[in-house]
Amino acid sequence: MSEYTVNKSYAEINARIRAGEAVVATAEEMIDIVREDGPVAAARRIDVVTTGTFSTMCSSGAFFNFGQTTPTIKAAKVWINKVQAYAGLAAIDIYLGATEPAEDDPLNKVYPGEFRYGGGHVIEDLVAGKTVLLEAKAYATDCYANTKCKKELCLADMPHALLCNPRNGYQNYNCAVNFSDKTVHTYMGTLKPKCRNANYCSAGELSPLLNDPLYRTIGLGTRIFLGGGIGYVTWHGTQHNPNVLRSSGGTPRQPAGTMMVQGDLKQMSARWLRGVSLQGYGCSLAVGLGVPIPILNEEIALFTGVSDKDIFTQVIDYGHDYTNRIQRNYGEVSYAELRSGQIKVAGKKVPTAPLSSRVKAVEIAETLKRWILDKKFQLGEPVAHFPTADFSLDDKE
């Protein structure tokens, strides 16, 4: 027995997608649909809501198997374009992390460092079809006699390449300010002293996990848009923390859930995987991510109708508090306020700037919608769900 008026299964929705009958809306379009028709009517009419986000996402990287040499090698240390990869996996399996800087990078020796090239850039170059230089060192064994190798290769030459990001798509994130008296260069961008600017980084109403705040549909096996290709959610991400303060609509008011995602790198696009250089901080990778949310019932319809004015985040000081792990906030702001270009912090007007691309988030949600309408993409039903919080919409009414 179900408590919902509308009950749809993944199989039913996938059958409608295959028949070309599925009704799909982006998370942006769903806001008005739910407001005008109510969640029950919206759930009856809409089958899938598509979300999207495009931003720098640390905790990204890729596994490669780079192909054997003659004689064979058990690589112990490996560099691609002078960026070191982790080689302690097997003979020629490596993991290249997005935030690894090139070995000859001056880092922050001349502050703030530029961090022009790192793991994220290598991934972008490979996906773009460029040739890279792979260097390896090894000790010799009876079965792996080679002690060094140096070869130029491109992504097509690699027998295996898997984008594997242990933590992506943060469900909400801090709004960063700087109350110290000097400029700071952080992963949240450049922050002027005495709270003269505020940076934020979330797709808000378009963000995947903010449209499924209690992880009812996003779980292990969810098929997604990843880096321009198709990928999967394979676990909850590192630092996934469902037990945070939440709004009455269920969305967290501070950083909460995260996703681990992976997919075949060879079918991805350099348009949606971009190496980034964050001044004074380091290198990383900007990842395009889009998750379809099946509208199984009216509760999920209501969740996906969330808009920026209902999503809140904390204003956190990155000049002193964050580094020293001081749990303090300078108030709460909604994404509607953040998006307006100005917020109030401690009674003072502060200009805001986003670090997450709204334009690209919309494009991803639209692309995913088109894939589903063109019958190219079906929903993956999760085989296991993320750890969630004890929360009920009724309790808060």
Residue 223 CB coordination number (10 Å): 18
Q: Write the CB contacts of 24 (distance below 8 Å, at least 6 apart in sequence).
A: 46, 47, 48, 49, 50, 369, 372, 373
Residue 56 binds another protein, judged by CB under 8 A: yes
Give, to the nearest 10 degrees, the angle between helix 358-373 and helix 27-45. Answer: 30
Integer Cα distance of 294 and 281 in angstroms: 38
Is residue 356 part of the contact set for another protein (CB under 8 A)?
yes
Looking up tokens 């309790």 gives: 395
Q: Which stretch binds another protein (CB under 8 A): 111-119, 158-166, 225-233, 250-258?
A: 111-119
Q: Is 197 in the site for another protein (CB under 8 A)?
A: yes
Instruction: Provide the token pair at 360.
Output: 């690209």
DSSP string, 292-321: EEE--SHHHHHHHT--GGG-EEEEEETTTT
Closest distance to another protein from the beta carbon of 349 (Å): 14
- Residue 314 has which token pair? 């904390």
110 lines the binding site for another protein (CB under 8 A) = no
When binding is defined by CB under 8 A, the residue of 1, 143, 359, 384 that contacts another protein is: 359
The distance of closest approach from Cβ of residue 336 to another protein in the complex, given in angstroms and rounded to an integer, is: 10
Segment contacting another protein by CB under 8 A, of 11-19, 318-326, 357-365, 367-375? 357-365
Pick the closer one to another protein by CB: 91 or 364: 364
CB of 339 to another protein, least distance (A): 7
Distance CA 31, CA 93 (A): 45
Dist. CA 196–CA 164, nearest whole Å: 37
Q: Which of 68, 247, 357, 388 binds another protein (CB under 8 A)?
A: 357
Is the Cβ of residue 323 or residue 342 nearer to another protein in the bound state?
Answer: 342
Burial class of residue 190, CB neighbours in 10 A (0-12, 13-18, 19+): middle
Q: Give yes or no for residue 90 binding another protein (CB under 8 A).
A: no
Find the part of the chain contacting another protein (CB under 8 A) among 38-46, 146-154, 190-198, 222-230. 190-198
The reply to whether 247 sits near another protein by the rule CB under 8 A is: no
Strands 342-345 and 282-290: unpaired
Given 355, 364, 365, 379, the residue binding another protein (CB under 8 A): 355
340 is an interface residue for another protein by CB under 8 A: yes
User: Closest separation between CB of residue 267 and another protein, Å?
Assistant: 20
Restricted to residues 266-305, the positions that interact with another protein (CB under 8 A) are 274-279, 286
CB closer to another protein, 244 vs 362: 362
- In 3D space, the residue among 74, 56, 54, 57 whose CA is nearest the CA of residue 66 turns out to be 74
Q: Catalytic one among 143, 154, 164, 201?
A: 143
Considering only 5-13, 132-140, 217-225, 355-363, which stretch makes contact with another protein by CB under 8 A? 355-363
Catalytic site includes residue 143: yes
Amino acid code (one letter) for 64: F
Q: Which residue(s) pair with 57 in the sheet?
A: none
Judged by CB under 8 A, which stretch of 161-169, 253-261, 327-335, 353-361 contacts another protein? 353-361
Residue 91, SS3 per DSSP:
coil
The closest of 378, 371, 382, 366 to 54, measured between CA atoms, is 366
Sign of CA dihedral 102, 55, 318, 211: negative
> Which residues are annotated as catalytic?
143
Which residues are at the interface with another protein (CB under 8 A)? 54-56, 112, 114, 116, 189-190, 197-199, 274-279, 286, 339-341, 351-360
